[in-house]
Amino acid sequence: MSPDVVARTIRAYFAALRAMDQDAWVDTFAVDAISHDPVGSPPIRGHQKLAEFFQSLAGAFKEVGLTEDHVFIAGNGAAVKWTGRGTSKQGKTVLFEGIDVFELNEEGKIQQLRAYWNPAEMVAQL
């Protein structure tokens, strides 16, 4: 797989998060994708469950987004160190960090995502 295809998918994933565009975000995933967000929690499988996950995250914020600090592409995947920033519906600002590891399928869609971050650190700021 071309590094350009991987980079394009990764950019689309993060851009959709920053825009809080659920449909565009879900569209970056394969129909049968599996997301471990965060690693250690029950896996999220398929577009419907991914959309529900997005709604639960976005529902707590006026705005929230992740910025790619460092992107490392290898083969059909990438590891991304990111910084998250957001403003809750009550006006509180949050800052949190993590690393996402992506595996893409032949169509350039995310087949598997493993997100390494601690949601408790973000929730404590709310």
Domains of the chain: 3-125 (3.10.450.50)
Taking only the tens place, the pLDDT of each residue in 49-61 is 999 999 998 888 9
Task: Provide the pLDDT confidence category of residue 66 given band limits of 50, 70 and 90.
Answer: very high
**Which active-site residues does the annotation give?**
13, 37
Strands 110-116 and 29-36, bridge-based pairing: parallel
Strands 61-74 and 44-45, bridge-based pairing: unpaired
What single DSSP character describes residue 42?
P
Residues 118, 38 contacting (CB under 8 angstroms): yes
Which residues are 113's β-sheet partners? Answer: 35, 102
CA 8/CA 32 separation, integer angstroms: 20
Q: What is the mean pLDDT of the chain?
A: 96
Task: Examine residue 38 and say whether the peptide bond preceding it is cis (omega within 30 degrees of 0).
Answer: yes
